[in-house]
């Protein structure tokens, strides 16, 4: 069989896998090349391992609540090795699931390094070093992302990025987290619930600066309740390994701040992986923020597309998958999809969770929109109270009677956001919501103000 393909995908993360499967469903001959692990960062270093560990820490932290409802648990301990075993099992299952997405006669996969030589030619260097030169009609770049490290900082045994932290052999007694993004607050939640003394340092005046301010403040209060020491409006001056720990120097409110801990975790964002030599040879337009694409995910060179973290913006698995579907529809036809960043939901898997879709209240006001806000608290919901869910709320932003955004802060926020994400993408009106019948008793009745 000749080595000519309709599509070659480089990168086996969510975007690349979705593109390969979608094109194969259109009866196209597809090859996907992955260098390290099927499923990409999400499966091996991001979504799956962190959420598996957060489930462990949540179960442990919730034991403290049970006495209130008549369940006495004493002597509970943390088996960090068992938690890691659970995490690794989830990663294996997710990686196998990623490979299963490729089953079918129209998809071929290769493990190795894919290098773009021209808009119609790719070189694949296999694990054994053997090179193959492959022809293709279309190319999709899905190189993914990597941790961003601030100038002047460097990693070491005790100063790690989120990619490297997963290799910890045992729980440290203390940790400094640099950066209050979603990665930083998720790790702060995880380690604080497991009894680690956590200090979080953020340059801006609050954690989660892109999220709803009220939700971010609620999470900050909950982190403080867990014992996390939050330092916002704090500028990092120096961070280095020292003996059996790390030392951080910073400036806060004009004063010097010195913090020592066992380890430091750098959560200062992620950056697209850009093989600039290949992009320059192709003539693809890009910046350090990512490869520039049009509304169909095509780069500045015809026939060459990009999807996922490599395009910058919101670095989320489901965003990458949507971009991939849009790209394949542009390449080969099929179901026409529109890409709109404002309908991409995002979730912070802290405890409590924060989930959002569309505009925040602040962004809507900054854009000069006239809005109305409908808000509902968990405290008024019987199931939230019965299951000791704690504080939380739902907020829905309407512009001219059409829902423009929503945020949920509280337990099960990610699940509650799903119908609101559908509503935002479908531009539902207040009148449409009034036909929504909510089962009783459920946490979903927190949406009651929408239907009244």
Residues 228-240 have pLDDT tens digits of 999 999 999 999 9
- Averaged pLDDT for residues 434-450: 94
Question: What tens digit of pLDDT does each residue of 45-57 get?
Answer: 999 999 999 999 9
The strand pairing partners of 177, in sequence order, are 200, 265
Distance of CA 436 to the CA centre of its chain: 30
E strands, 263-303, are: 263-266, 270-272, 286-287, 290-291
Q: What is each CA distance from 77 to 57, 87, 194, in whole angstroms?
A: 11, 18, 10
- Tokens in use for 417? 């956001």
Q: Give the residue from 205, 180, 20, 207 showing the smallest Cα distance to 114.
A: 20
> In a 3-state reduction of DSSP, which class is residue 42?
helix
Determine the Cα–Cα distance for residues 186 and 347; give it in Å rounded to an integer.
11
- Tokens in use for 1? 């069989």
∠ CA 241-244-249, rounded to 5°: 40
Residue 91 backbone class (left: φ over 0; alpha: ψ -120 to 50; beta: rest): alpha
Q: How confident is the model at residue 346 (pLDDT cuts 50, 70, 90)?
A: very high
Q: Give the residue from 420, 48, 434, 442 showing the smallest Cα distance to 212.
A: 420
| Residue 301, number of CB atoms within 10 A of its CB | 16
pLDDT above 90 covers a percentage of the chain that reads: 88
Q: Are 376 and 448 in contact (CB under 8 A)?
A: yes
pLDDT at residue 424 greater than cutoff 90: yes
E strands, 1-44, are: 4-10, 30-34
- Tokens in use for 26? 């259109």
DSSP class of residue 308?
G
- Of 93-102, 225-234, 284-293, 418-427, where does mean pLDDT reach its minimum? 93-102
pLDDT attached to residue 394: 97
Q: How confident is the model at residue 4 (pLDDT cuts 50, 70, 90)?
A: very high
Q: Give the residue from 400, 403, 394, 401 showing the smallest Cα distance to 425.
A: 403
Q: How confident is the model at residue 67 (pLDDT cuts 50, 70, 90)?
A: confident
- Tokens in use for 363? 């962004």
Choose between 410 and 338: higher pLDDT. Answer: 410
pLDDT attached to residue 336: 72
> In a 3-state reduction of DSSP, which class is residue 207?
coil
> In a 3-state reduction of DSSP, which class is residue 375?
strand
pLDDT at residue 331 greater than cutoff 70: yes
Residue 207 backbone class (left: φ over 0; alpha: ψ -120 to 50; beta: rest): beta
pTM of the model: 0.94
Catalytic residue annotation? 440
Question: What tens digit of pLDDT does each residue of 282-300 get?
Answer: 999 999 999 999 999 999 9
């Amino acid at each position: 069989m000749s080595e000519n393909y309709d599509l070659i995908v480089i990168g086996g993360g969510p975007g690349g896998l979705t593109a390969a499967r979608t094109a194969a469903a259109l009866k196209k001959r597809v090859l996907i090349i992955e260098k390290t692990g099927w499923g990409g960062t999400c499966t091996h270093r991001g979504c799956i391992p962190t959420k598996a560990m957060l489930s462990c820490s949540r179960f442990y932290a919730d034991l403290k609540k049970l006495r209130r409802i008549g369940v006495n648990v004493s002597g509970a301990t943390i088996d960090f090795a068992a938690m890691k075993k659970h995490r690794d099992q989830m990663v294996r299952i997710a990686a196998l699931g990623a490979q299963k997405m490729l089953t079918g006669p129209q998809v071929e996969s290769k493990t190795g390094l894919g290098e773009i030589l021209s808009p119609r030619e790719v070189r694949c260097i296999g694990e054994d070093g053997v090179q193959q030169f492959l022809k293709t009609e279309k190319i999709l770049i899905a190189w993914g992302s990597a941790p961003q490290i601030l100038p002047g900082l460097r990693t070491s045994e005790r100063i790690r990025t989120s990619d490297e932290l997963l290799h910890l052999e045992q729980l440290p007694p203390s940790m400094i987290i640099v950066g209050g993004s979603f990665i930083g607050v998720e790790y702060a939640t995880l380690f604080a619930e497991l009894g680690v003394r956590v200090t979080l340092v953020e340059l801006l005046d609050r954690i989660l600066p892109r999220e709803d301010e009220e939700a971010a403040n609620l999470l900050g209060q909950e982190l403080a309740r867990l014992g996390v020491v939050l330092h916002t409006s704090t500028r990092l001056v120096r961070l280095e390994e020292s003996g059996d720990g790390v030392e951080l120097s910073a400036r806060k409110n004009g004063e010097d701040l010195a913090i020592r801990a066992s380890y430091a975790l750098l959560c200062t964002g992620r950056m697209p992986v850009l093989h600039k030599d290949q992009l320059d040879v192709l003539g693809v337009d890009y910046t350090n923020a990512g490869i520039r694409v049009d509304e169909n995910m095509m780069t500045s060179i015809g026939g060459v597309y990009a999807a996922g973290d490599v395009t910058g913006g919101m670095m989320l698995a489901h965003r990458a998958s949507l971009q991939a579907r849009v790209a394949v529809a542009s390449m080969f036809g099929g179901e026409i999809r529109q890409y709109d960043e404002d309908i991409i939901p995002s979730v912070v898997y802290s405890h409590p969770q924060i989930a959002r879709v569309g505009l925040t209240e602040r962004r809507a006001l900054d854009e000069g929109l006239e809005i109305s806000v409908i808000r509902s608290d968990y405290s008024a919901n019987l199931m939230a109270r019965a299951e000791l869910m704690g504080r939380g709320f739902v907020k829905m932003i309407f512009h001219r009677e059409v829902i423009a955004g929503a945020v949920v802060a509280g337990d099960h926020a990610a699940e509650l956001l799903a119908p609101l994400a559908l509503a935002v993408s479908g531009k539902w009106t207040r009148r449409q919501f009034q036909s929504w019948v909510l089962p009783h008793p459920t946490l979903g009745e927190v949406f009651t103000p929408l239907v009244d």
